[in-house]
Amino acid sequence: MKKICLFLALVTVLTSCVRDVVLDAMEDPLLAVYCVLKVDSVQELKLSYAKSAAMTEAPRVTGATAVLTDLTEDREAGRFVQVADSLWQLEYSAIPTHSYRLEVTVPGKEPVWAEQTMPAEPPVESETKLIEGDRRSVKTEGYGYRFTKPCTTWISVEGFDRMEGYSVLYAPVGELCTDYPYVDDFNLTGKVWERDLNEPMNPFVKLVADRYYLSGYPLHRDFLRIPKAEEQKQSFFRIDGDIKTSVMTGGTGGEYKAYSYVYFSALSDDYDSYLRDAYQQYYAEVSEDLSSIYLRENLHGNIHGGIGIFGAASTIRFYRMYSWGLPWQNQVLDEP
Amino acid sequence: MKRTTIFLLLLASVTCAAQQPAWLDTLDAAVKTDSRRIEQRLGHLQTGIEGIRAIVSPVGEGDPIRWVQSLPGVTTGADGTTAMYVRGGSSGNNLFSLDGVPVYGYSHILGLTTLIPTSVTESAELSKGGFNGDESNFTASHLKVVTKQPSQSRKWSAGLNNFLLSTGAEGPVGNRVSYMFSARISPLALEYKAVKDKLPRMLGGLSNFGAFVGDVYGKINVNISDISYVSASALASQDRYRFDMSHSSHETMGWNNVIGILQYHRNGDNTRLAVTASYNRYGSLQQQEKRYHSVWNQLSLSAGLTEYSLQTKLHHSWDSPFALDEGLSLRYAQFSPGQVGEMTKRTDVILATPWVQATYNIPEMLSLKAVLRGNYYHSQNMAQTSEKRGSGRIDPEFSLAAKWNINPQLAFEATFDRLVQYYHTLEGMPVGWSLDLIVPTVGNVLPEKSLQGGAGLSGHFGSHSLSVGGFYKLMNNLVYYKYSQELFSGGLAGWAQHVELGDGRSYGLETLYEYQHGDWYGRASYTLSKTTRENFPSFYDGAPFHARFDRRHMLNATLQWKGFSATMILQSGHWENGEAVTYNAYYFDHSFTSKYYSGVNNYHMPTVFRLDLGWQKTFKLGRSENTVNVGVCNVTNHFNPFMLYFDAETESWKEIALMPILPNFSWRVTF
């Protein structure tokens, strides 16, 4: 019986036979790899050693060579160059649907490696649709998105943050909601979206706003994850949330307009699993929940001989304009 | 450490000053001179009350578990406590029975002893192989404790020790009826109050300590005729503790048992019949309220098991070496593991086990035994009110045993068993959580199975006896609970989805040496073994890893001379989950420190060493017979680290030694 723990607790306090312990399993330091291939022109690789419980700090990675190979074309895509203490870069744009192999060699250690296939761009398109409201027979055109074929997709939004001079700065929107019925619920915040309707609006907006905003929909933290499913093709859906809309662009008539970016990312399976775990751990780290100390799950990884992730993501984004702050009247614009 | 000694001595003196004798001892003088040597037969090791009491323990005298822990093939759990692991099995793979009825929560008084009073104990028997037909629903060992028959002369007794006050009585009522009664209560809370007022600094951060710990046992025997009798017995125990570890930590925990047994025995010339009906309830609760990151957290777990059983056993013998036993065991049990608030998932199970056992015995030459058991098991989830789904299965078991006396001094013995167990004790509980959660076989959580064989030689050479043997054991469907964190969020209501099944393997060498001559008695047991777990998909890709109590070497030695005794324990350390390595991980553009656990049970705790000394004196004072035990556990004050707990205040793991140098005292008086 493990009731001894109780005994432990008591006798411990009664007798003070307690001492600190560092349970270092004394294993060789593992190389931690983080690299997510993107269609961007520069690929980044982050390398570091894991720190065991007995170490004051992790050893530095020195003399590492990292090679990216395009397995589809059977040629070397390039060699990463160290640009900072733990950062390596490679000027290369990953090609969707191509498979890649990353191999990192540190002198005196066995090479660590992983393989990954770059996903195709997410099959999503923007769409305008007539939405009929049952309140005073209001009809208007609504604006949203639709998948053209099934694909696991992560959606995030960057909204207006602040102006710096004439530059508009954007920041990730922390809480999002959608009327898409099959969204993954694992990152629910526990709150529902309630738009403040006291902001200046014209009478028409006020009339229909509570109908067409996604008020009452559950909020998701940081992103919306859409799992791959056949039903994806059937759903026209909208995205709402705490997307700041108050920026004057100097338009005519003092019209307020706001712009935002909506990102749709197709992730490789490994990166999808990793990111799901990383979400949990990232927020558990700052958690005040005592039960988090009992969490013993590792982040998903695919690095052979090491830890970490070699992932791939293809991202497209929509440049969206809010007009009157109404989601169904938003337009996708050509980016400036 | 000095504080420890002072405190424990103080506890002893407090109980001494109380002058409330309360220990039941119904031993006849003749019994006390019995041999302490272990009786061995076909995989079974047996001892009488004298062998049990001779073991030095923190409560002044031994108990059946302490005796078992000194035997070969048995690994102890935490130092000084009542956990045991037999031939690589888990703690929940052992059956502890009282008069044939399972006792699911046998730990008592902070894990220092068992809830069966030695005053009502007749004998203890450990089976590791070659099991009998009526032993079922376990895969490692059976510790069978048998209570004695009430005495035909009136006796009253009382006793005290560091942790318990007890009293008892027995005697006849008329010609056919006899009774036996025992009650024990722990004065821990009173001792705490006394110490708290006088030496508050001695208690460190402990405050608001409260405890209600005790047990009651009663038995009535009714002789129907010269060959038949009925006995009714009941045992109730309660362990409940609350205390504050600091101003930011409140703990509550406890467990209780209620067992009722009704037995009918008929002993004819060539036939014996035993029928047993029983009621068994076990419940447990543990709660923590801790301030963590400036926020109060409340974690709670409770569990319950209620079982009704009916067992019959019929023995036939003829004027030949051949004998036949057959019987049937029926159980109906209700499990409620891991209740969180109102979230409960009750599962009802039925287990029916008919069995038959054939033995062939030529005294002093050859013994053979063959057992065949069949199990029908059915479980039903009672939480699904709209659709109560159930499932049934049939699993056979068998046991074979043989002993061949090569010559009068030397014998060869071999056993072979296939065993099935339907009640699981979840491994993978969070570190620092003491409760054992017992869950039933249900759905994809299959019954545990073991296949084991053992063989060895035993010899008796005058005052010396020696046995040497080996065993090999394969275990299947061992259960591991993967998501400890979810235990406290209601996740345990769906525990079956979070259980991972794997296998185990254990093999080793067991030796037992005994010496008895005059006032001297010595015993040494040594086990060399290796125990692994494997095929758990979540750990090491299914590769083998250490079982938690995979102690490679175990040496237990006892030396007794007249009233003096010395016990030495030297064991390899057990295995704990090593602390994670940390590394930089990324969540989108956010960098954070992630933990990586390379596996489970990958940190080897230090070797355990303990030397216990004891002295016993029996003397008459007027009409009373008095027995005093004085001893010291862990004389060398060796720090035997046992387990870890998370200190929420410092946010660090700490290592705890259960038993520093620990004096003990007990006094029994019988009238």
pLDDT digits (tens, 9 = 90+) for B267-326: 988 899 999 999 999 988 877 776 665 666 667 777 889 999 999 999 999 888 999 999
Strand B113-114 to strand A167-172: parallel, antiparallel, or no bridges (unpaired)? unpaired
Residue A19 lies in a domain: no
Nearest CB to B81: which of A4, A14, A287? A4
**What's the CA gap between A301 and B515, in Å, rounded?**
58
Query: Is a pLDDT exceeding 90 seen at residue B504?
Result: yes
CATH number, domain of B486, equals 2.40.170.20
Residue A3 lies in a domain: no
From first to last of the 336 residues of chain A, give the pLDDT tens digit: 444 444 444 443 344 466 777 667 667 788 999 999 999 899 999 999 998 877 888 889 999 999 999 999 999 999 999 999 899 999 999 999 999 999 999 998 899 999 999 999 999 888 766 655 545 455 555 667 888 888 899 999 988 787 777 777 888 999 999 988 888 888 888 888 887 655 555 555 555 555 566 778 889 999 999 988 877 777 788 888 877 655 454 544 444 455 778 899 999 999 999 998 898 888 877 665 665 666 667 888 999 999 999 999 999 988 765 544 444 444 555 555
Residue A304 lies in a domain: no
Q: What pLDDT is stored for residue A332 in this prediction?
A: 53
Residue A59 lies in a domain: yes
Residue A149 lies in a domain: yes
Does one domain contain both B441 and B504?
yes
Q: What pLDDT is stored for residue B633 in this prediction?
A: 85
Query: For chain B, how far is it from start to end, CA to CA, in angstroms?
Result: 39
Does one domain contain both A33 and A158?
no
Does one domain contain both B547 and B583?
no
With CB atoms and an 8 Å threshold, state whether A278 touches B587: yes
- Choosing among B483, B485, B574, which should be mutated to test the A contact, i.e. which has the most A CBs within 10 A? B485
Nearest CB to A290: which of B299, B435, B592? B299
Does one domain contain both B582 and B469?
no
**What's the CA gap between B50 and B449, in Å, rounded?**
35
Does one domain contain both B367 and B438?
yes
Centroid of chain to Cα B564 = 26
**What's the CA gap between B249 and B288, in Å, rounded?**
7
CB A303 within 8 A of CB A33: yes
Does one domain contain both B547 and B594?
no
- Helix B188-198 × helix B2-18 angle, to 10°: 120
**What's the CA gap between B170 and B586, in Å, rounded?**
71
Please, which residues 129-188 of chain B have a Cβ atom closer than 8 Å to chain A?
Answer: none
CB B115 within 8 A of CB B22: no
**What's the CA gap between A316 and A156, in Å, rounded?**
11
Domain C-terminal end among A84, A118, A152:
A118
Q: What percent of chain B has pLDDT over 90?
A: 42
Residues in chain B within 8 Å Cβ distance of A1? 77, 81-83, 91, 105-107, 111, 434, 436
Does one domain contain both A171 and A114?
no
Q: Of B489, B534, B380, B400, give the one whose Cα is nearest residue B442.
A: B380
Q: What pLDDT is stored for residue A329 in this prediction?
A: 47
Give the chain A residue whose CA is nearest to the CA of B481: A296
**What's the CA gap between A42 and A91, in Å, rounded?**
4
Please, which residues 232-251 of chain B have a Cβ atom closer than 8 Å to chain A?
Answer: 239, 241, 243, 245, 251
**What's the CA gap between A193 and B67, in Å, rounded?**
65
Tell me how many residue pairs between chain A and chain B have CB atoms under 8 A apart: 245
CATH number, domain of A91, equals 2.60.40.10
Kindly list the distances between the CA atom of residue A17 and the CA atoms of B2, B5, B192, B206, in Å, as whole numbers in the listed order. Answer: 10, 11, 18, 13
| Residues pairing with B370 in the sheet | B358, B400
Domain C-terminal end among A118, A149, A164:
A118
Q: What percent of chain B has pLDDT over 70?
A: 82
pLDDT tens digit sequence for A60-83: 999 999 999 999 999 999 999 999
Instruction: Record the tokens describing residue B207, joined without a space.
Output: 């405050």
Whether B615 and chain A come into contact, CB under 8 Å, resolves to: no
Domain that holds residue B598: 577-602
Does one domain contain both A98 and A214?
no
Does one domain contain both A136 and A41?
no
DSSP state string for A53-92: TT-SSPPPP-S-EEEEEETTTTEEEEE-EEEETTEEEEE-
Total domains in the fold of chain B: 2
Domain C-terminal end among A94, A118, A142:
A118
Does one domain contain both B447 and B582?
no
Does one domain contain both A86 and A149?
no
Query: Is a pLDDT exceeding 90 seen at residue B492?
Result: no
Instruction: Record the tokens describing residue B615, joined without a space.
Output: 């002295």
**What's the CA gap between B152 and B264, in Å, rounded?**
19
Does one domain contain both A59 and A155?
no
Kindly list the distances between the CA atom of residue A244 and the CA atoms of A195, B97, B321, B538, in Å, as whole numbers in the listed order. Answer: 11, 69, 93, 43
Q: 10 Å Cβ neighbour count for B666?
A: 26
The one-character DSSP state at B341 is T
With CB atoms and an 8 Å threshold, state whether B83 touches A298: no
Lowest mean pLDDT among A15-24, B528-537, B613-622: A15-24
pLDDT tens digit sequence for B94-105: 999 999 999 998
Does one domain contain both B442 and B585?
no
Residue A169 lies in a domain: yes
Does one domain contain both A107 and A64?
yes
Distance from CA of A294 to the nearest CA of B (A): 5
**What's the CA gap between B495 and B442, in Å, rounded?**
10
Please, which residues 404-433 of chain B have a Cβ atom closer than 8 Å to chain A?
Answer: 429-433
CB B287 within 8 A of CB B245: no
Q: Of A265, A311, A301, A303, give the one whose Cα is nearest residue A118.
A: A311
Instruction: Record the tokens describing residue B406, joined without a space.
Output: 């090569």
Total domains in the fold of chain A: 2
Does one domain contain both A145 and A105?
no
Instruction: Record the tokens describing residue B485, joined without a space.
Output: 């964190």
Does one domain contain both B472 and B589?
no
Does one domain contain both B199 and B233?
yes
Does one domain contain both B597 and B517?
no
Does one domain contain both A165 and A103?
no
B517 Cβ contact list (under 8 Å, min separation 6): B463
Residues in chain A within 8 Å Cβ distance of B435? 2-3
**What's the CA gap between A237 and B145, in Å, rounded?**
68
Kindly list the distances between the CA atom of residue B668 and the CA atoms of A116, A135, B60, B378, B564, in Å, as whole numbers in the listed order. Answer: 74, 88, 11, 48, 17
Instruction: Record the tokens describing residue B547, joined without a space.
Output: 């079982």
- Mean of all residue pLDDT scores within chain B: 82
Does one domain contain both A162 and A190?
yes
Whether B11 and chain A come into contact, CB under 8 Å, resolves to: no
Distance from CA of B546 to the nearest CA of A (A): 13
Does one domain contain both B377 and B493?
yes
Does one domain contain both A143 and A215?
yes
B259 SS3 class: strand
pLDDT tens digit sequence for B380-439: 876 544 444 567 899 999 999 999 999 989 999 999 999 999 998 876 655 545 556 788
Q: Is A251 exposed, middle or buried (0-12, 13-18, 19+ CB in 10 A)?
A: exposed
Q: What pLDDT is stored for residue A38 in this prediction?
A: 94
pLDDT tens digit sequence for B140-182: 999 999 999 998 889 999 998 878 899 999 999 988 999 999 9
Residues in chain A within 8 Å Cβ distance of B82? 1, 4
B506 Cβ contact list (under 8 Å, min separation 6): B87, B88, B89, B471, B472, B473, B475, B529, B530, B531, B532, B547
Does one domain contain both B51 and B118?
yes
Q: 10 Å Cβ neighbour count for B121?
A: 20
**What's the CA gap between A44 and A64, in Å, rounded?**
14
b/e burial code for range A203-239 (CB count within 10 A of at least 16 → b): eebeebbeebbbeebbbbbbbbbbeeeeebeebbbbb
Domain that holds residue A256: 124-267+315-333
**What's the CA gap between B101 and B650, in Å, rounded?**
45
Does one domain contain both A114 and A240?
no
Query: For chain A, how far is it from start to end, CA to CA, in angstroms?
Result: 69
Residue A2 lies in a domain: no
With CB atoms and an 8 Å threshold, state whether A53 touches B586: no
Half-sphere exposure of B645 (CA within 13 A, CB side): 29
